Amino acid sequence: MAQYRSAGQKRRQQTYTNRPARGGIYIQGNTARQLDEEVYEQRRRRKPVDNTVRKNREKARHMNLGYVFFLSLAMIFAGLILTGYIHLQADITTSIKNISRLESKLNTMKLDNDEEYNRITSSVDLEEVKRIAIQELGMRYAEEGQIITFSGKGSDYMRQVADIPE
C-alpha cells in the first residue's frame, strides 16, 4: 500500500506480505530481496529424465532425411508458385500499359478523323455541285409523280421484281 507525505516531500512506499518467507520472517520495505541459494539450487537440480523421454527429445531436435526432403520440395514448390505469380503480375502490367497506349492512339486517330471530316465538309461548295449536276451532267429536279415510295416492312433491302413505272 502506498502512502504519500504532504506537499514537497518525497513519496514513501512500503510493501507488506501476508505469507512468511525464509523461515517465517515477514518482509517489510522496498528493497530487493536476497536470492535464497538453497531454493535456487533445488530449482536447478531436476529429476533424472527417463530414457524414452530423452530419446524422444533427441529425435525432436534432429531432422531426418525424409523431413528435410519434404521441406526442400515445399520450398521449391513455393518458389515456383511465387515466380509464376510475379511473372503473371508483370504480364498484367505490360498488358495494361499496352491497352493504355492503344487507347491513346485510338483517341488521337478519332480526333484526326473528325478534323479531316470537318475540313472536307467545309471545303465542299454545294452550289457548285448543284451547278455541275444541272448544267454539265444534265440532271434536273424530280417532278410531280416521279417519286415513288416503297415500304420496306422491316427488312434492310428491297428486291425489284418488276419494272418501275415511268
Write the DSSP string, 60-95: HHSPPHHHHHHHHHHHHHHHHHHHHHHHHHHHHHHH
Rounded to the nearest angstrom, the gap between the alpha carbon of residue 71 and the centroid of all alpha carbons in its chain is: 29
pTM of the predicted structure, to 2 decimals: 0.41
Answer yes or no: is pLDDT of 109 > 90: yes
More confident residue, 45 or 118: 118
**32 CB-contact burial (10 Å; exposed 0-12 / middle 13-18 / buried 19+):** exposed
Q: What is the mean pLDDT of residues 41-68?
A: 76
Q: Answer for the pair 17, 26: CB distance below 8 angstroms, yes or no.
A: yes
Length of the chain: 166
Q: Could you give the C-alpha distances from 23 to 20, 27, 42, in angstroms and in order?
A: 7, 11, 17
Note the Cα 17 to chain centre separation in Å.
58
Q: Where are the domains of the chain?
A: 2-136
Mean pLDDT of 23-35: 60
C-alpha cell at 1: 500500500
Listing DSSP states for 119-134 in one string gives: HHHHH--HHHHHHIII
User: Over 50: is that where the pLDDT of 7 sits?
Assistant: no
Query: Distance between CA 78 and CA 73 in Å, rounded?
Result: 8
* Stretch 69-81: mean pLDDT: 96
The answer to whether residues 106 and 100 touch, using CB atoms and an 8 Å cutoff, is no
Residue 19 has pLDDT above 70, yes or no: no
- Quick check: 12 and 5 in contact, CB under 8 A? yes
